[in-house]
Structure 1
């Protein structure tokens, strides 16, 4: 990881080339998209707004030229720009100018809402669009005997109902992960220990918990026959509080000087019990906004966990 960051810091050509290569790799290995956007964010955080813009500008032009030759169009490069590089640059600009990780996370959440709204702008009925896209996929699962044919229509409908919110929340989480990774890279190279302290102190504003409560109340008043927009908003807000919940977990373990095994356990739970663990961490984050667990704890030992 540190080698990638060091290479990106050698200069604009290296950063742009690395951004393109990682984006291309993401077509085969989707998590590589986080690394690609993190390169853009890292250059922006360290060298400034203009150098960061030059990286995604050069990457867009070069990938567009390659896509034009190979695929006959530049849609792929435009997709990389709109969905990956430009959002990462924007939140990195916010973090660089404000030096507030919480404000940068809020900026990422705003872009998540833009993604949610964009689906309704692009299509009057995004759920119907998702049904059309998911139908063949679920059909392949039926053909592979992984899903019972009698459940096919129900599964397609259920997945499509939630997809607008899931896509928006997933976009927010990927963008936030890219920003956090870039900040960690920056700390590794230029400010050892800086990211640890910054992430441990992450606190989202209390009003965001009130917004979540309002979204929950509105969702309960909607028809139970279909997923509503307030429920999509609720997903996105839960994703934001999940990030704070992770920060609380890291902060508590770090302040108490406890073993890293506690954090490994948290991430294993995310791997094997994802929905339940996300809800628990989001609840922890919301509670911390009002109680501030980390401020109430007395440091113990000098452990570097977290």
Structure 2
């Protein structure tokens, strides 16, 4: 990773080339989109908003030309700009100017809400569109005898009803991971150990926990059985507190000097018990916002974990 970050910082041509290449590769391997956005974020964090905007603009222009020649349109390049490079550039500007990872995470949450609203602005009924998209997928599960045919319609309806919120939450989480990856790259090159300390000390503002409480209250008060914007917003806020819960776990393990095996176990739980582990970490993150568990712990070891 350090070699990749060093290559990015060699100059504008290298950064632009890597941004476009990784974005194109994301069409086959979606996780590489985070590497593409991290390139834009790294340049912005290190050299400033103008340099980051230059990389973003050149990447858009060159990818637009390539898309025009290969596909006959520039929609792909515009999509990269709107969904990947511009949002991460904004978050990097916030982080660079404020030097607050927590504020940047909150800004990412706001962008997640914008993404949620954008789905409803683009389509009068995004749930119906998701139903059309998911129907062939669920039908393939029925053909493979993984789902009972009698449950097909119910499963499609359930999945489609939650998809707008899941997409917005995934967008927010991807931005947060990309930003932290860029911050880690920056620390590797110019401030070894800096990101570890910054992430371990991450604390979201207490008022965000009050927002979560209000959202839950609204969800409880609203009438009807369908999934609404309130539930979608709840998913986004829970993801924000999940990030703090993850930082809390890293911080406590680091302060106690415990083995990194604890972190491996935590990530395995995320892999095999995703919803439950996310909720537990989000709850721990909310409690930490009020009680600051890390401040109550003194360093007890050399700090093996990250």
| TM-score grouping bracket, smaller chain normalisation | over 0.9
Q: CA RMSD in A?
A: 0.9
Partner of 2:206: 206
Shift of 1:144: 2.6
Is the aligned partner of 1:283 residue 2:286?
no
Distance 1:4 1:157 in 2: 43
Distance 2:222 2:125 in 1: 18
Distance 1:257 1:84 in 2: 37
1:126-168 Cα deviation digits (max 9, x unpaired): 1112112211222222223322221111111001110111111
Partner of 1:225: 225
Is the aligned partner of 1:192 residue 2:170?
no
1:36-89 Cα deviation digits (max 9, x unpaired): 100000000001101101111111111111111111111111111111011010
Distance 1:39 1:58 in 2: 13
Partner of 2:152: 152
Shift of 1:223: 3.5
Is the aligned partner of 1:269 residue 2:269?
yes
Runs of at least 4 residues off by over 4 Å: none
The answer (yes or no) to whether the contact 1:222–1:228 under 8 Å persists in 2 is no
Aligned residues: 306
Partner of 2:48: 48
Partner of 2:167: 167
1:187-221 Cα deviation digits (max 9, x unpaired): 00100000011001110011100100111111122
Distance 1:278 1:178 in 2: 19
Per the normalisation by structure 1, the TM-score is 0.98
Per the normalisation by structure 2, the TM-score is 0.98
Q: Secondary structure at the match of 1:226?
A: coil
Shift of 1:224: 5.0
The answer (yes or no) to whether the contact 1:256–1:299 under 8 Å persists in 2 is yes
Unaligned residue ranges in structure 1 (runs of 5+): none
Please say which of residues 115-124 and 231-240 is displaced more in the overlay.
115-124
Distance 1:211 1:262 in 2: 31
